[in-house]
Chains A and B, each alone.
Chain A
Amino acid sequence: MISAPPAAPTPERAPSTTSPATRGRGRTSVTALNATLAAAIVVVLVLSGAIGTVEVGVLDAARITLGHLVPGLPWMSDGSLTTLQDQAVWQFRLPRALLAGLAGAGLALAGAIMQVVVRNPLADPYVLGVSSGASVGAVLVIVLGSTAVAGLSLSAAAFAGALVASALVTLLAQQGGRLSPTRMILAGVALGTLFSAITSYLTITTEAQNVVSVLFFLLGSVSAATMSSLPAPIIAVVVACLIVATQARSMNALLTGDESATSLGVNVTRLRGLLLVVASLLTGVIVSVSGGIGFVGLVIPHVARILVGSDHRRMLPVTVLGGGLFLMVADLLARTVAAPTEIPLGILTAFVGAPFFLWLMRRGSATRAGFDR
C-alpha cells in the first residue's frame, strides 16, 4: 500500500514528488465555457429582439434594448425608431426571450438539484409530480374559469397545484423524519399519474376551443410573456442560485451516498430537505408562468456533467447558463420555423435537444460523467 519502505513511515506532509499536472484542466476551460455561454446568451437575446414579423435590424434591436435600460440615449427620441418597432422589441420579443432564458436556467438548476436529492440520473424537476400538480391547477382555470378556482389566475392556480403536489409527495415519502430517495421517486410517479389522469379527464370533457390552451400549457410556452411576468422567476432563480452555491461541496458529498456524506460532516436530512424545498419552489414558480416545458431539466445537467464533470462547483454554473441559452434558442425557433404558427416549446426542446444530447452521449467524453458503467 505504501511506496515508502515499511520501516520508515512517510511524514504526514512530506513534499509530494509527483505533482498532479492534471488539476488545472477543469478550471480554465470552465471559466472559458461560462464566458462563451454568457456571450452566446447576449447574442441570442439581441437576435431575438431583431427577428420577427415587424422588421427591426440587429443594431436597432440592441439600441432599443439599451435605450430602455439607460435613460436619455439620443436615438430613443430622434424619430429613427418607430413605435411599432419599439413595442415589438420591448413589449413582446425581449420579455419572452428573457422568460425563456429564466425558465431554462431555473428548470436546469432544479433538475440538477433533484438528481442529487434522489441520487438518480433519470430525475428531473418534475419527478415529484410538480408539473402534473401545476397542470391540474392550470387546466381547472382553463376549463372551469377563474371564478370556479377561488378567483385564482392561471399562474396562481398552477403554482398552488405545484406546491400541493410536492408537499403531498414529500409527506407520503417521509418515514420517521427520513426521506428515502426511492420512496420519493415512487410516490412522485404514483401521484403524478393520478394528477395526469385528472388533467386528461378535464381536457377530454371540455369544449374543443380550450384544448389548444391546455396543450400549450402542458407542453410549455412563453408566448404570453410580458415584462411583468419576469420578476417572480428572476427572484426564484437568483435566490435558488445563491442558496445552492453555499451547498455545492455538501452536494458533492451527497453524490457519494448518504452514509458517506454523513461521515464527511453533512447533515443529510437537513440538506435534502433544503434542496427539496428550493427545487420545488423554483420549479413551481417557473411552471406557473411557462407551463411544463420538458427535457431541459433532465438533460442540461447531464450535458454540463459531460462537459465539466460532476463537481457541483463546476457543473452548476454551466447548468444554469446552458439551460438559459438552450431555451432561448428553442423559443426563438419555436416562433420562427413555422411562422406565423407558433410551436409549443416542449416540442422544440425535444426536437433540438434529443439529437444533440444523443450525439454528446456517444462521444468519449461522456465517460467523465460516468456514462460508461
Chain B
Amino acid sequence: MRVDFESVSVTLGGTPVLREVSVAVPSGHFVGILGPNGSGKSTLLRTLYRGCRPSAGRVTLDGDDVLGMPRRELARTVAVMLQESSTEFDLTVLELVLLGRAPHHGSFGRDTADDLHIATEALRRVDSLELIDRMVGELSGGQKQRVMLARALAQNGPVLVLDEPTNHLDISHQLELMHLVTTFGRTVIAALHDLNLAVTHCDEVAVMRDGALVAFGPPRDILTPELVREVFAVDARHVLDPASGDSVLAFARPAPSAHRPERTLENS
C-alpha cells in the first residue's frame, strides 16, 4: 500500500511544526525519516495514524485521506510501534501484544485462539517469547522496544510505522530489527537516528530540518557528507569498510571543539 504525505503542515499551539512536507512512499518500500531532534519526524508520522491533524495538506493511503477513514479501519491498515507504553497500570507482555488485535474486534469480547496465536508468533519473531508473562513495567528499555514491535506486528497492517525503533536496542537487535522489517513486504516508514542503519536498510530516506523536508531519495545519493554537515551540524566523511566494500559515514564534532566531550547524535 502506498502512502502519500501531500504538502502536510502542522501547527501546535500556534507554532508551525511541519511546513508543507511532501513525501511519496511507494508500496512495499522502507522509507527512513531522518533529521535532528525537533525536526518534525515524529509529528510527520503522527499525521499518518491520526495522532495529530494536519492544519493543511493531507495524508493518503492508496489515495484515500486517512482523516476520512474510520479509526478502527485505519488502525487495521497502519500498525504503529511507539517508543513507550505508559505503565501506571501495568499489563503483562501478552496483554500488551494482544492489544494489537483490538482494531480487529469490537470493543468487547474475548481474545480468540487466532489472536493468541498471532500474538505469540509476533513475540517469537522479535525473539521475546520468554517475556510473555512478565509485566511490561519490569522490562528493560530494549526488551520493551521489542515487545512494542511485537504489538505492531500483531496489529498486522500493510503499513508499518516505527518511531525511533532502535534507540534502546543493543547492536545485534538493532540489525535484526532493521532486517526483520524489510522481510515483510510491507510499506515501512521509520523515524531513525542512525544514519548508517538508514543507508544500509532503507529504500529511500527523507531528511528533515525545522519541520521542512530538505531532501528525499535513495540514501546513498542523499546522505552525502555535505548534506549531513549542513543538516546535523557535524563533520562527516565517508570511510570504506574493507570487508563489505561499502562506504560508511564517520562523524566528528565540527572543527574548533576538539577538547570538549563528544556529543552524540542519540535521541535526547
User: Is the beta-carbon distance between A257 and B85 smaller than 8 angstroms?
Assistant: yes
User: Is the beta-carbon distance between A256 and B120 smaller than 8 angstroms?
Assistant: no
Confirm or deny: B155 has a beta carbon within 8 angstroms of a beta carbon on chain A: yes
Task: For A264, give its contact among B75, B84, B86, B92 (CB under 8 Å).
Answer: B75
User: Is the beta-carbon distance between B135 and A367 smaller than 8 angstroms?
Assistant: yes
Given contacts A3-B127, A18-B124, contact A264 B50 (CB under 8 A): no
How close is B69's CB to chain A, nearest CB, in angstroms?
Answer: 10
Closest residue of chain A to B178, judged by CB? A1
Contact residues in B for A22 (Cβ distance below 8 Å): 94, 132-133
User: Is the beta-carbon distance between B102 and A250 smaller than 8 angstroms?
Assistant: yes
Confirm or deny: A53 has a beta carbon within 8 angstroms of a beta carbon on chain B: no
Contact residues in B for A20 (Cβ distance below 8 Å): 94, 116, 120, 132
User: Is the beta-carbon distance between B91 and A264 smaller than 8 angstroms?
Assistant: no
Confirm or deny: B105 has a beta carbon within 8 angstroms of a beta carbon on chain A: yes
User: Is the beta-carbon distance between B180 and A1 smaller than 8 angstroms?
Assistant: yes
Q: Which of B19-27, B106-114, B205-213, B215-223 binds A?
A: B106-114
Most chain A CB within a 10 A radius of its CB, from B49, B89, B116, B117: B89
Confirm or deny: B3 has a beta carbon within 8 angstroms of a beta carbon on chain A: no
Contact residues in B for A253 (Cβ distance below 8 Å): 99, 102
User: How far is A369 from B78 in the complex, measured between Cα atoms in Å?
Assistant: 30
Contact residues in B for A255 (Cβ distance below 8 Å): 86, 88-89, 91
Q: Which of A44-52, A115-123, A227-235, A344-352 binds B?
A: A115-123
User: How far is A14 from B173 in the complex, measured between Cα atoms in Å?
Assistant: 22
User: Is the beta-carbon distance between B102 and A1 smaller than 8 angstroms?
Assistant: no
User: Is the beta-carbon distance between B82 and A310 smaller than 8 angstroms?
Assistant: no
User: How far is A9 from B107 in the complex, measured between Cα atoms in Å?
Assistant: 33
Contact residues in B for A10 (Cβ distance below 8 Å): 121, 125
Closest residue of chain B to A175, judged by CB? B13
Task: For B99, give its contact among A121, A252, A369 (CB under 8 Å).
Answer: A252
Task: For B89, give its contact among A115, A246, A248 (CB under 8 Å).
Answer: A115
User: How far is A267 from B73 in the complex, measured between Cα atoms in Å?
Assistant: 12
User: Is the beta-carbon distance between B173 and A266 smaller than 8 angstroms?
Assistant: no
Contact residues in A for B92 (Cβ distance below 8 Å): 309, 368
User: Is the beta-carbon distance between A267 and B176 smaller than 8 angstroms?
Assistant: no
User: Is the beta-carbon distance between B88 and A120 smaller than 8 angstroms?
Assistant: yes
Confirm or deny: A259 has a beta carbon within 8 angstroms of a beta carbon on chain B: yes
Task: For A256, give its contact among B96, B126, B127 (CB under 8 Å).
Answer: B96
User: Is the beta-carbon distance between A16 and B75 smaller than 8 angstroms?
Assistant: no
User: Is the beta-carbon distance between A267 and B102 smaller than 8 angstroms?
Assistant: no
Contact residues in B for A63 (Cβ distance below 8 Å): none
User: Is the beta-carbon distance between A265 and B76 smaller than 8 angstroms?
Assistant: yes
User: Which residues of chain A (1-45) have a CB below 8 Å from chain B?
Assistant: 1-4, 6, 9-10, 12-14, 16-20, 22-23
Write out, one digit per residue, whether chain A residues 102-139 have a CB within 8 A of any chain B CB (1) or not (0): 00000000000001100111000000000000000000
User: Is the beta-carbon distance between B95 and A264 smaller than 8 angstroms?
Assistant: no
Task: For B120, give its contact among A3, A16, A313 (CB under 8 Å).
Answer: A16
Task: For A370, give its contact among B75, B82, B87, B121 (CB under 8 Å).
Answer: B87
User: How far is A264 from B169 in the complex, measured between Cα atoms in Å?
Assistant: 24
User: Is the beta-carbon distance between B71 and A267 smaller than 8 angstroms?
Assistant: yes
Contact residues in B for A313 (Cβ distance below 8 Å): 108, 110
Task: For A262, give its contact among B51, B125, B177, B183 (CB under 8 Å).
Answer: B51
User: Is the beta-carbon distance between A249 and B108 smaller than 8 angstroms?
Assistant: yes
How close is B66's CB to chain A, nearest CB, in angstroms?
Answer: 12
Confirm or deny: A247 has a beta carbon within 8 angstroms of a beta carbon on chain B: yes
Contact residues in B for A309 (Cβ distance below 8 Å): 91-92, 95
Task: For A1, give its contact among B72, B120, B126 (CB under 8 Å).
Answer: B126
User: Is the beta-carbon distance between B109 and A369 smaller than 8 angstroms?
Assistant: no
User: Is the beta-carbon distance between A369 and B179 smaller than 8 angstroms?
Assistant: no
User: Is the beta-carbon distance between A249 and B129 smaller than 8 angstroms?
Assistant: no
Confirm or deny: B64 has a beta carbon within 8 angstroms of a beta carbon on chain A: no
Contact residues in B for A363 (Cβ distance below 8 Å): none
Closest residue of chain A to B73, judged by CB? A265
Confirm or deny: A311 has a beta carbon within 8 angstroms of a beta carbon on chain B: yes
Confirm or deny: A93 has a beta carbon within 8 angstroms of a beta carbon on chain B: no
User: How far is A130 from B183 in the complex, measured between Cα atoms in Å?
Assistant: 54
User: Is the beta-carbon distance between B107 and A1 smaller than 8 angstroms?
Assistant: no
User: How far is A303 from B31 in the complex, measured between Cα atoms in Å?
Assistant: 46
Task: For A257, give its contact among B70, B84, B94, B116 (CB under 8 Å).
Answer: B84
Contact residues in B for A368 (Cβ distance below 8 Å): 90, 92, 135
Closest residue of chain B to A367, judged by CB? B135
Given contacts A265-B102, A311-B95, contact A373 B51 (CB under 8 A): no
User: Which residues of chain B (145-203) have a CB below 8 Å from chain A?
Assistant: 146, 149, 155-156, 161, 173, 176-177, 179-180, 183-184
User: How far is A245 from B110 in the complex, measured between Cα atoms in Å?
Assistant: 12
User: Is the beta-carbon distance between A249 and B102 smaller than 8 angstroms?
Assistant: yes
How close is A30's CB to chain B, nearest CB, in angstroms?
Answer: 11
17 contacts between A and B (CB under 8 A): A1-B127, A1-B179, A1-B180, A2-B127, A2-B176, A3-B124, A20-B116, A245-B108, A252-B95, A256-B91, A256-B99, A262-B49, A262-B51, A265-B75, A309-B92, A370-B88, A370-B89
Closest 4 CB pairs of A and B: A370-B90, A265-B75, A1-B176, A263-B80
Binding site for B on A (CB under 8 A): 1-4, 6, 9-10, 12-14, 16-20, 22-23, 115-116, 119-121, 245-250, 252-253, 255-257, 259-260, 262-267, 305, 309-311, 313, 367-370, 372-373
